Amino acid sequence: MNASTSSSPRIHIGIGGWTFEPWRGSFYPAGLAHSQELHYASRQLSAIEVNGTYYSTFKPPTFAKWHAETPEGFTFSLKANRFATHRRVLADAGPSLTRFIESGITELKEKLGPIVWQFMPTKAFEPADFEAFLAQLPSEVDGRRLRHALDVRHESFATADFLSLARRYGCTPVCTDSEKFPAIADGAADLAYLRLMRGQAEVPTGYTSEAIARWAEGVRAWTSGERPRDVFVYFINGAKERAPAGALALMAQLGLRA
């Protein structure tokens, strides 16, 4: 399966961001201009999760520039601004949520992937308040369908009630491979969103070849069977300097190329 085939479930594999000094001279060729890093990364991998949108507000020309610099078939996942999710009462997130959604993200056009809503590790599951937040998530903006991934980080979310609520609003729980956060997956969701955070600096690809082979099996299972679905896999955090090599190894294991 080619990563850019649109007629079948798509596998998107990548890293978090594209600016990281230790990648220069390892992932990026020596001497590559910093302004060319997105151009280069987007031709090696098939997706990038943008962390900058979590901390800052970007304008339409920036999203349009990212679209222009990347090839057909590439995908950006955007982390929603933290002002929408880092609050005691999520029901009050409306203005911040709207500000992010209407900031120009549709300038990414067909390259706009899922929006990731990352919640504080201390934020426990309060069903009524969380539902009030989900009820405010738009299903589309400027005529473009939106997909929402919920990066919840408190153990109280590891319940059937949370999964049921996410399904009701068409959202996908982020499945995080981490020592710090619960791994919550939903086999009934419309897509899979994986964040792999156990990279080890002493392993050239962050994850061992055996571990990468197991993740590849999971990706194949998700994109086959009676209900094949899209999969997003990002090598994030832990031993970040190894993330590109891990993503490339998983792509090779699956027979994919950007």
The Cα–Cα gap between 193 and 205 comes to: 20
Q: What is the pLDDT of residue 1?
A: 35
Q: Tell me the pairing of strands 171-173 and 148-151.
A: parallel
Q: Give pLDDT, residue 42.
A: 98
Kindly give, in sequence order, each residue whose CB lies less than 8 Å from that of residue 82, ignoring residues fewer than 6 positions away: 54, 55, 118
pLDDT over 60 (residue 6): no
Share of the chain above pLDDT 90, in %: 93
Q: Does the structure show a pLDDT above 60 at 195?
A: yes
Q: Which domains does the chain have, with CATH numbers?
A: 11-253 (3.20.20.410)
Rounded distance between C-alpha atoms, residue 8 and residue 5, angstroms: 6
What 8-state DSSP symbol labels residue 24? B
What would the mean pLDDT of 223-246 be, rounded to a whole number? 93
Query: Given this model, what pLDDT does residue 8 score?
Result: 66
Q: What is the pLDDT of residue 216?
A: 98
Q: Tell me the pLDDT tens digit for each residue of 117-165.
A: 999 999 999 999 999 999 999 999 999 999 999 999 999 999 999 999 9
pLDDT at 246: 98
Q: CA-based angle 159:162:165, to the nearest 5?
A: 150
Using the structure block, give the residue that is written with the tokens 């929006």. Answer: 115
Task: Note the pLDDT tens digit of each residue in 50-86.
Answer: 999 999 999 999 999 999 999 999 999 999 999 999 9
Round the average pLDDT of the chain to a whole number and report it: 95
pLDDT at 218 over 90: yes
Q: How confident is the model at residue 229 (pLDDT cuts 50, 70, 90)?
A: very high
pLDDT of res. 28:
98
